[in-house]
Amino acid sequence: MNFKPNGAWVVLPDPTSETTDSGIILDEVTRKSLETNILKVLAVGPHCTFLKVGDIATIDPRTEAIRMDIDDKACLLIGEHQVLGKV
């Protein structure tokens, strides 16, 4: 990933994607069944002290995140303080 977040921001994959990586469009039932709040960390800012790239983090499902496309993938950008824990 070429994107480097600033501060204590964390980049995670967006679990609400409407298509698979290969481009298959998912129906709503399948999409909802694939949503999860346990996500692999893709990038971290220089001030992150708890997480590192590759960690599996548990996120509060009510967390508001910044949605953005990075390297043609749907991602979430959240503050490290929004992470509940790691596996």
The residue written with tokens 């346990």 in the block is 38
Residue 2 lies in a domain: no
Residue 51 lies in a domain: yes
Residue 4 lies in a domain: no
Residue 65 lies in a domain: yes
Residue 20 lies in a domain: yes
**Looking at residue 72, which CATH number applies to its domain?**
2.30.33.40
Query: What are the tens digits of pLDDT across the range 37-53?
Result: 889 999 999 999 999 99
- Report the pLDDT value the prediction gives residue 54, as an integer from 0 to 100: 96
Residue 3 lies in a domain: no
Q: What is the DSSP letter of 15?
A: T
Q: How far is CA 40 from CA 16, 25, 27, 28, in A?
A: 14, 22, 24, 23
Q: State which residues form the domain around 36.
A: 9-86
Main-chain phi, psi angles of 10, to 5 degrees: -125, 135
Question: Which of these, 3, 2, 5, lies nearest to 48 by C-alpha position?
Answer: 5
Question: Quick check: 55 and 27 in contact, CB under 8 A?
Answer: no
| CA 44 to chain centroid | 11
Look at the chain and report how many structural domains it folds into. Answer: 1
Q: Between 72 and 6, whose confidence is greater?
A: 6
